[in-house]
Amino acid sequence: MGKPTGFIEYSRELAPDRFADERTLDYLEFHLTLSEDRLHTQAARCMSCGLPFCHTGTLLSGMASGCPLNNLIPEWNHLVYNGLWEDALYRLLKTNNFPEFTARVCPAPCEGSCTLALREEPVTIKQIEYAIIERGFEEGWIQPDPPTVRTGKRVAVVGSGPAGLACADQLNRAGHWVTVFERADRIGGLLMYGIPNMKLDKRIVERRVQLMAAEGVNFVTRTEVGKDIPAGQLRAEFDAIVLCGGATRPRDIAVPGRELTGIHFAVEFLSADTRSMLDDDIRTSGWISARHKDVIVIGGGDTGTDCVATALRHGCASVTQFEILPELPAQRLPSNPWPEWPRIQRTDYGQEEARIAFGQDPRQYCVQTKRFVGDSQGRVCEVHTVRVEVTRDERGGLKFTEIPGTEQRWPAQLVLLAMGFLGPENQLLDQLGVERDARTNVKAAYGSFATNVPGVFAAGDMRRGQSLVVWAIREGRDAAREVDRYLMGHTALSRESS
């Protein structure tokens, strides 16, 4: 714990963000930091709660409760409060390979289940995690640490997102020779091309990749396994394969006019924008501009918010975000008790920026898209919608009933589909003969992570479906332990290993 009475004496304080009208002029990260003294004060709020729910890492009502990585949060809060920053870093890295990623993009289910959140505002866990890992890099405490002994075993990791990187990092620490295959031109998967730079600076991703390379991990880019390299070749050349390719098939919308020009999946829009930024702002043929356009974003999740924020940085004429579900309540409902993730209304960075730019929140709730209308050139120019009433059917599923008289037309020269992902792509899985589950994800039991093909494992979104970065890291770590056991007959990789 921190100070025994800290949670009584001190209030929650978050570092400020850069002003919304300033930060939309660039792609720099928008979160600022607190001074060391104020961070000590925030760490002091961690209470001696006996049973810390913050690091339980369980699923309650289908949502994460506590940290899926089982981070030793009370321990490193206590160390920060006492000024023992290097010790705090060591405890943080025991369970989390990449705190610099989770401290930026994780929604912090740990804070949702913080015991203090029963009556007060939770401890600023995510903020303290950020401060610990960044101080570790600044002070030079984080240096390449390659294994001293190699096993001679070779493992191929397919996909370089958070699951693939975590798996590769752990297997390398166990002494195996690890090669990570990535079809894109840069390593990082969704960390590189799925999350905008203002949320996760790509230099942070590259910093970690360079560290892993110095420790012996081999990275191969611009290589799609199953296309550029046959799956059979991979099986012949490696002792084990771990599939970490993510759930990359975006959910589409089947309404009239879908074929019109100007309607894109969110991932196309975001990845092309990041690539243009990294390539010195070169506008390649794949770049999609929102400048001077009325933009409609269909989807109310994090990816939709990222689309809103990116469109603003392009200089869009307007931006509206459709959500088919109702607006969430301002406070927890009795049906959503602690320590479940609090399903409450939040205003994310993109909505705040749009409100400052255009004077109103861009979100429209209970909106169902009915059709897209095009101009004489076959380009989208309007979106037709209707409001819906959302209820539950007899089986508990959601039921959407159109409300007569609520039809509406919205001007739109760019439509971005941000409705989530359906599962992994099939080409590589078909070549390997890997079984799929009812949701089309790779069928591999949690705990073993082994597929029906001997020596082939799966982890992350490819196995569990679209999820959080923190769950992907957890799965990558756990899968690495089972691969190590498969290769060696036992494993030196524990749940806490660094």
Q: Domains of the chain: which residue ranges?
A: 6-138, 154-248+422-488, 252-419
pLDDT at 339: 94
Report whether pLDDT(497) > 60. no
Burial grade of 378 (CB within 10 A; 0-12, 13-18, 19 or more): exposed
Mean pLDDT of 394-401: 90
Other C-beta atoms closer than 10 Å to the C-beta of 126 total: 21
pLDDT at 384: 98
pLDDT at 287: 86
Mean pLDDT of 242-270: 96
pTM to 2 decimal places: 0.95
Tens of pLDDT, residue by residue over 155-203, are 999 999 999 999 999 999 999 999 999 999 999 999 999 999 999 999 9
Tens of pLDDT, residue by residue over 472-484, are 999 999 999 999 9
Question: Candidates 3.40.50.300, 2.40.50.140, 3.50.50.60, 3.30.160.60; correct CATH number of 252-419?
Answer: 3.50.50.60
Q: How confident is the model at residue 495 (pLDDT cuts 50, 70, 90)?
A: low
pLDDT at 284: 59
Contacts of 206 (CB under 8 A, 6+ apart): 186, 187, 188
pLDDT at 48: 75
Lowest mean pLDDT among 45-59, 118-132, 158-172, 273-287: 273-287
Tens of pLDDT, residue by residue over 76-88, are 999 999 999 999 9
Mean pLDDT of 233-251: 96
Residue pair 178/215 in contact (Cβ under 8 Å)? The answer is no
**Domain 6-138 matches domain 252-419 at the CATH topology level:** no
Mean pLDDT of 112-129: 95
Lowest mean pLDDT among 99-108, 130-139, 407-416, 422-431: 422-431
Report whether pLDDT(282) > 90. no
Q: How confident is the model at residue 209 (pLDDT cuts 50, 70, 90)?
A: very high
- Mean pLDDT (the chain, rounded): 95
Q: How confident is the model at residue 62 (pLDDT cuts 50, 70, 90)?
A: confident
pLDDT at 281: 62
Between CA 398 and CA 404 the distance in angstroms is: 19
Locate 209 and state its tokens. 């990749």
pLDDT at 498: 45
| Domain 6-138 CATH assignment equals 2.102.10.10 | no
pLDDT at 33: 94
Q: How confident is the model at residue 4 (pLDDT cuts 50, 70, 90)?
A: confident
Mean pLDDT of 33-59: 92
CA 36 and chain centroid, separation = 28
As assigned by CATH, the class of the 154-248+422-488 domain is alpha beta
